[in-house]
Structures are given as C-alpha cells and as structure tokens.
Amino acid sequence: MLTFNDNKAGMAGLDKERISKIIESNTSGNYSNFSKKQQDRINEKTESIKKRLQAVSPAEWSRAEKEMDELAARLECHRDLRRDCVHIDMDAYFAAVEMRDDPSLRTVPMAVGSLSMLSTSNYLARRFGVRAAMPGFIAKKLCPQLKLVHGNFSKYKKENHVFRAIFAEYDEDLSMGSLDEAYLDITEYVKARTEPNVLVRRRYGGECICKLPLMTEQDLSPSTTESCKKCGKDRKVFEDNIEFGVGRAEVVREIRFRVEQATGLTCSAGIAPNFRLAKICSDMNKPNGQYELANNYEKVMEFLSTLPIRKVCGIGRVSEALLQACGICTVGQLLERRAALKFCFSELSQECFLRVALGLPGRPSSSDPRRKSISTERTFTPTSSREALIEIMEDVCDMLVEDMKRAGVVGGRCVTLKLKLSSFDVLTRSETPGRLVSSREEILAITRETLDRELPNEFRLLGIRLSNLQFEDERASGEPISVLDFWKRQQHADSNCIGDEEASSSSSASDPPCSSEERVSCPICGCLLRNDDRVVNQHVDECLNASMLLQEDSATKPEPKVPKKRKATIENFLVKKDRK
C-alpha cells in the first residue's frame, strides 16, 4: 500500500489507513509499480541492516559505542548555547494569501494548485488528508467539496517583500529558506534592546470582513468606521496599543504581530540555540504560535528524547525506514543506539545523525558557497512524440536561459538532460563538450542530440541542468585571467577591438544555517538534493509551481559574490619561471 505522510501541521490524528487506501485506489498502475519497486529496494536495505546487526558481537557493539562516544565528545566541543536563533514559517502561505483576498474561502476546505498538483492546502482541507505535493484529482477524492484555486505567484512574491523587510530590521543578514520561511539570528538585537516597545494594533470588524486581522467578539477597543472599496460595506476599525517586552520570546512575538498587521497573514516561529532546533520548534505550535526551547543542555536533550525522527529536517521516508530497522524511532533512541550507526551507515551519515541526536547544527560546509548548478524542468502528459518533446525542450531551455540571466550565470561546462519515463523511472544524461556553453542554441543542440538517443521511449518529465558554472562577476572580483583568455585578449588587441567587459555584482542571503552533506529526495520529482533547508525548500517551491513559473518571473535569488580559487594564469606562469 502507498504510505501517506501526515508529518505536517494540522494533520495529526488522521485515519492514515483509510487515506492511504483512497490514494492507492486512485493512483495509476505505472506509479503503483514504480512505488512498489522503490519500496522493494527499501525493504532489501532494511533486511540487510537487520542481518548485519544480528551478526554483531557484544565486543563489537561495545567498541562501536566507544568510538561513537569519542565522536560525540569532539562534536560537543563546538556546542554554542549563546545564540538566539529563530525560524519563522508563514502559515499555509499560498492558501492564506488567497483566503485573505477572498473571504468566501476562509470557511471551506481549499487548496492552491490544479488537478495535476497542489502547492498547499488550508487547515480545513488538511483534516481530510489533503496536503502539498498531492495531485489535485486525488485530493478531490479525499475531500469532494475541496475548492481549488489557481496560484498567483507574483502576488506571493509581493507579500514576501513586505514581511522580509520586517525580518531584516531584526537581522539584516537573515536567510530566506523559501518564499514563506526565514532564519534570523536576533542575538545582537535582543542584547541591544533594553526597553519595552509599544505598537499600535488595528483590527477590523462590522459588515465588511475583507480586511484582516478581524476583531474578537470580546473586544471593547474604541473604533472608527470606514467604507470598504472592495465590497462597498462599512468596516469598523478598532485601534489600541500593545506592549512587547525585552526578552527574545517577546521580540519574536513582536515580529509575528508586525507581519500580521502589515499583511493580514499569520506566521509561526521557533526559538532555539541553533537553526536546526529552531526549525523543529516552529512546527510545534502551528498555526499562529511560537515555541521557545531554552539555551540549556538538559532542556535540549529532554526536548529531543521523545521527538520522532521524521520531525527532523532531512530525515525522510527512506532514512526513517533504515533507522527503524536499527530500532530507532525517536531522536532519543538515536543517541541510545548510537553504536548501530557505526555498522549501518557511512562515516558522514554517522556524524550527521549524531549531530541530530545531540541537538547540534548541521555539518559546516567548507566548499564554495556558490550554487553548483542551475536547472529547470516541466511535467506533462506522457508522450513519445519527438515534435512534442522538442517543443517542450525549447520552452524549458527558454526558462533556463532567463534563470541564468537573473542569477548572473554566464554559462556552464556540463549540460544534463533529465527524463522521467511514463513508468516514473528517471534517466539523466550528461554531456561535457569541453567549452563554456552559454547560449540557447548551444544548449538545445546538445540536449536534442541526447534526446534522440533515448527515443522512442515515452516520457512525462523533461528537465535541463547546467553545471560547472561561470558567473558574470568572476572577472569583476579581480580574478586573474586564464592562459586561454590571455591569448584571446592578445588577438583582440592586435585588431584594436578591446572593450571593457560588463560585470554585474550579485548579493544574496547567506546559506541557511541548517545544512548537511546527506542527500534527500524531492517528494515530487524524485531528484536528489543536498540536505540544506534553503536548497530543498526552493526546489520544492519550483516543482509545485511549475505551471505558474511558466508565466511569472521566478523568485530565484542571485548568489553571493565570493572569492574563487586561483586559476592557472599567464602571470603566474611567468612568475614561476622567473623564480626558477
């Protein structure tokens, strides 16, 4: 049976077996077969783990436990309990925007998306098992009265600019995990704040219910009356003052209040010593709530002791199954049975899981923080027609080129074509032509040739990825020119054609603090992603809103300017020669 993932706010206590049966009965045979193959592979791995653990002797277990304790001691040296880290997540963001703008949607189960795929659902719909990344036609089987609303990506981006500006007042170096979530370190702000802050609070009522937030029946605040331009009815405006204290919990309460006042949307927050824990905490009191985890070792370990492993970002269906095969279902058991990790996982995964068990942030990355690739893809009705696939390929390529311009990417040296068969199996074919590929025509020439080799298979998804990238601002950063470029410039000089190269600087929020080298799979397209909150959330956003991205500008942020490793240059060559 296809399993239903209820690990989402507003979905606790559902009848998973009934929902799973409905999903399975409305799923195509191709996908059922694909899911069965996936499950068979997982079952093979779990059986292998169980056999491996059964063969472990007491002496081996004791030795492994000692080695894991030594690793834990090394990791403990880097624990930092001095920071005030906050993760803020907008509540059912796309759905909330639509409900704010259309009051009739507030009291019915609704979702944003189409019969093909949902981007999100409101909390009423979640009680029926309707959730993001679910096909709309299956959601309709779960909840026949479900109201589907087509998304408006430009509207969601506009609201994002409003609350992001508020977040930036508390941490100018904030990191947006996606359109609807942010990571803030408010340590310095909290230290500098010594006085309470009093803000004006406005709520609305009367015949007009267009504007949010609405007043409660018990509210006795003084009011004024105004006419609503949208519905033409009278609206009462209730205004009073509200005070926020000086602690970090009060600061976060103030941030959430300001977001609601500015946008009419609510958000939830988690406060903790690091961003991994803060992200977990932000899900504890959804919607429109916050949860604070004290900066105290004992409190952190107590919080984690009974936490289900699936609540940890980066532990998905496969990792959960493998850990359960080790007898691990909670984060507390992850620490208790730490020796099992030594026999069943790679060294990198061992460290990753141990960090989770200890409540430590993800493994810091020593690699270049620039993006490593840029890609675009489309899902469509399965077809084997070359003409149809070439037309789709041209559209995808146009989208990719536009994304490259926005991200400041000049080109790349590796082109990958991704194809998902009608059976849901995924093929990836990479070509490295030995030169920088930058134009639409060059990309299409390579991907057409690759596609022809895979025909006449029937495909349902086509994507193009460009990797080993070169950015516009690399030359502007003072990087020496390569030997090849040196000779090219000499040829230009001989013909009096030297011109200044244009360079555009790019800026972005820093990489999110919650990261790991472990790979996780996208729940929609199945591709493997770096276990990094920003990367995962951004990719899922793009998958869920593929149809909207065809018509709207994407929300891709430019990447930060960073120093690059020195290339082999003619100047360096001459210096080395002189030294000899």
- Catalytic residue set: 181
> Which amino acid is located at 346 in the chain?
S
Q: How far apart are CA 471 and CA 484, in angstroms?
A: 17
Nearest alpha-carbon partner for 518 in 504, 529, 502, 506: 529
Tell whether the torsion through CA atoms of 283, 287, 292 and 298 is positive or negative.
Answer: negative
Q: How far apart are CA 553 and CA 157, in angstroms?
A: 9
Q: How far apart are CA 75 and CA 361, in angstroms?
A: 10
Q: Which H, E and C letters describe 15-37, residue by residue?
A: CHHHHHHHHHHCCCHHHHHHHHH
Given the structure tokens 């090849």, which residue do they identify? 484
- The DSSP bridge pattern shows strands 267-272 and 147-149 to be unpaired
Backbone angles phi, psi at 130, to 5 degrees: -85, 125
Q: How far apart are CA 58 and CA 61, in angstroms?
A: 5
Whether the upstream peptide bond of residue 480 has omega within 30° of 0, thus cis, is no
DSSP element (H, E) containing 162: helix 153-168
Report the DSSP beta bridge partners of residue 414.
467
DSSP single-letter state for residue 214: B
State both tokens at 103.
């009051």
Given the structure tokens 């029937």, which residue do they identify? 458
CA triple 314-319-320, angle to 5 deg: 100
227 Cβ contact list (under 8 Å, min separation 6)? 233, 234, 235
Helix (H, G, I), strand (E, B) or coil at 92: coil
Nearest alpha-carbon partner for 525 in 451, 455, 431, 460: 460
Cβ atoms 144, 473 nearer than 8 A: no
Q: What is the DSSP string of 505-549?
A: ----PPPPS-EEEEEEE-TTT--EEEEEHHHHHHHHHHHHTHHHH
Q: How far apart are CA 274 and CA 362, in angstroms?
A: 9
Tell whether the torsion through CA atoms of 403, 406, 408 and 410 is positive or negative.
Answer: positive
User: C-alpha 290: how far from its chain's center?
Assistant: 21
143 Cβ contact list (under 8 Å, min separation 6)? 109, 125, 128, 129, 130
Tell whether the torsion through CA atoms of 345, 347, 352 and 353 is positive or negative.
Answer: positive
User: C-alpha 519: how far from its chain's center?
Assistant: 13
